[in-house]
Amino acid sequence: MDRLFLVASTLFFLLAVVRTALLIRGGAFRPGRSSFLAIAGGFVLQTAFLWVRGNTLGRCPLTNLFEVFIFMAWSVALIYMLVGPAYRLSLMGAFTAPLVLLIQTFALLSPIDRPSAPKMAVNPWLEFHASMSIVAYGAFALACVAGLMYLVQERQLKTHQIHSVFHHLPPLTDLYAAITRLLWLGFGLYTAGLVSGFFTGEPLPRVKMVCAIAIWIFYGAILQGRHLFRLAPKQVAVLCVVAFSAAVCVLWGITFVSEKVPT
Amino acid sequence: MKLFCVGLSHHTANVETRERYARSIRIDPGLREKTGCVEALLLSTCNRVEVYGVAEQQVDDEAIARSLLTAASAQEAHDAAAFYRHEGDECVQHLFRVACGLDSMVVGETEVLGQAKQAYAEARTSGGTGPFLHRLFQRAFRVAKQVRTHTDITRGAVSVGSVAVDLAGKIFGELRERKVLVLGAGETSERTARALASRGVTDLRVSNRSGERAEILASLVGGRAVPFAGWENQCREVDILISSTAADEPLLTRAKLGPILRERWDRPLFIIDIAVPRDVAPDVNEMEGVFLYDIDSLQSIAEQSLALRRQQVAAGESIIAEHVADFGRWLRRQRGGASATASDAAIPRAELQTSES
């Protein structure tokens, strides 16, 4: 039953992607209210899925890889809803929807929605740790999206090839400011998630801890590297994409380990 | 009641011919009496002179043309071939196309909409408009707004100066806090500097081999002159460099700019090189954080924008067609019996005062 919400949600994101693709193909792309509404609809249905799944499980729905991916897709949509309009990054929806669509489609088609091993009683610290970390991933995903937008805009400006999308992309300096804020937001949430992990009172697998700290150091290095290593905005944008790709791989690894060694 | 438009434009008349006709936005007060028009409005811009009218009987084109002649040209009225006439739905469609910039020399330009609003306001004040023209022009403003919102017809700059300002906006966003160095005191750099100043730039520096010319240009664009010797050092601070000197060799090369960029690694530098031969070595564009545009690339973007606008014409036309059909139905209802006076009374005062933006 709960998967129906998710299928419907995925269709909403698909709608946003198809609309954008058709507009770009027609050479007249413009971010419109319909894309935002499609993403908002998808977000509501994601929330419904997580609510139903959470009630069924009697805990935060982060018990297997499938739920982790859906929670991450939800976090991406949540942060887009909060950040996109605030920073007038309306076009971000055009880049966010495909990312969410990809995550959800992969999650729905892969045989990863397996009931996890019986758990112990609900541990609030553990749930806080897991949910904070995943929401941080949402911020990192949006930083990655803003990074991609930066790279697209920068390339058009460098090569002098101006396409329809150019007029709807925000200025480079605004995108860079958004990347920085999203990185700080994600870093703050991730730090909270990481620190709370030590209060769960449960043994943490070493590989999980090392990977989590490595990701934390990577993002910390990007934030500080701007000054220490004189990273140019374009390099920061590239690193946002690289770091998020690495972080998703690590998340997969961490969750895989968690499923083998229940915490 | 017949709704019609008689006029000439850049499509039918050269500039010499257009010059002979009304430059004032006020219609001849006697025109309505002379021609028997119930309502009349004059739209006069650089590229067109048109009278929109409503009359019980057919109005002679020549009578309108004569009334539009400027005093200085009163003897040379042999331009009948340059005048066109649109009636009913064709007139409605023509005005909507004009208001949307589809009939303009530069497709999608928005200045004509402001001029149409001004003409409408003028005619309303002088009592030239009644229920038909009021409704026609209000609808035209609405159509123009809709076409602008739902198509890319006004997107992109189509002149070198405005392309440069647009690009600066896409790199820096808000331009108010940006520092600009104008190198060389040519006409194009002056226009570009003025365009940037109009977008809020206040820190404009002008440098030229002739200090006197630098002072003159600085005073014209509201900037300050800086010495030509060691102008490269200004690149440490400025965000935008406009270069148009008459130098034979590139003034700015990778070797010169390299050390400067190391000090400003996180701030982009936008270079507009409008000199021929070029002042900036082309490979400077490959440097991180540098966006170099020469006159050809600016021109090419202007042409791309124009091409994009042309692609959007069909989308604009289809919006217009819907409104023409709708307005045509209203027009036929009025002709079919319902009195225009009754309809006039039905138009709220607030609506009459609305100038849709």
CB contact A171 to B (< 8 Å): yes
A10-47 pLDDT, tens digit per residue, is: 999 999 888 877 776 665 556 567 778 888 999 999 99
Tokens of B233: 């050092």
B80: pLDDT confidence band, cut at 50, 70 and 90?
confident
A174 touches B at CB < 8 Å: yes
pLDDT tens digit string along A139-154?
999 899 899 999 999 9
B12-47 tens-digit pLDDT: 988 888 888 866 666 766 777 777 888 999 998 888
Res B30: pLDDT: 72
- Chains A, B: CB contacts within 8 A come to 62
Q: What percent of chain B has pLDDT over 70?
A: 90
**Do the chains contact at B155 and A164, CB–CB below 8 Å?**
yes
Q: Are A74 and A46 in contact (CB under 8 A)?
A: yes
| B230: alpha, beta or left? (left if phi > 0; alpha if psi -120 to 50) | left
H helical segments located in chain B: 15-19, 31-35, 61-68, 89-100, 111-125, 131-150, 160-172, 187-198, 211-221, 254-262, 295-311, 313-335, 340-346, 349-353
The pLDDT score that the predictor gives to residue A32 is 64
Grouping H, G, I as helix, E, B as strand and the rest as coil, residue A201 is coil
- Other residues' Cβ atoms within 10 Å of the Cβ of residue A170: 22
**For B308-354, what is each residue's pLDDT tens digit?**
888 889 999 999 999 999 999 998 888 775 444 444 434 444 444 44
Across B37-46, B119-128, B227-236, B337-346, least confident range: B337-346
Q: B171-206: per-residue pLDDT in tens? A: 998 899 999 999 988 777 888 888 888 888 989 999
Res. B290 pLDDT band, cuts 50 70 90: very high
Q: Does A157 score more than 60 pLDDT?
A: yes
Nearest residue of A to residue B291, measured between CA atoms? A158
Percentage above 70 pLDDT, chain A? 86
Residue in A closest to B156 by C-alpha:
A167
Q: What is the pTM of this model?
A: 0.71
Query: Is the separation of the CB atoms in A45 and A6 below 8 Å?
Result: yes
How do strand B269-273 and strand B2-9 relate by DSSP bridges? unpaired
- Regarding an ipTM greater than 0.95, the answer is no
Give the whole-angstrom CA distance, residue B100 versus residue B112. 8
Tell me the two tokens of residue B228.
């030509």
The pLDDT assigned to B341 comes to 46
The CA distance from B175 to B204, in Å, is 12
User: Is the pLDDT assigned to residue A258 strictly greater than 70?
Assistant: no
Q: For residue A2, with 0-12 CB atoms within 10 Å meaning exposed, 13-18 middle and 19 or more buried, which class applies?
A: middle
Q: What average pLDDT score do residues A234-239 get?
A: 96
d(CA B152, CA B57): 41
Q: Give yes or no: B46 in active site.
A: yes
Q: CB–CB of B171 and A173 under 8 A?
A: yes
Average pLDDT value for residue range B140-149? 94
State the pLDDT at residue A83.
75
Question: CA torsion A145→A149→A155→A160, rounded to 10°?
Answer: 170
| Rounded Cα distance, B29 and B42, in Å | 11
Rounded Cα–Cα distance for residues A54 and A76 (Å): 19
Residues of A with Cβ-Cβ distance to B308 under 8 angstroms: 27, 164
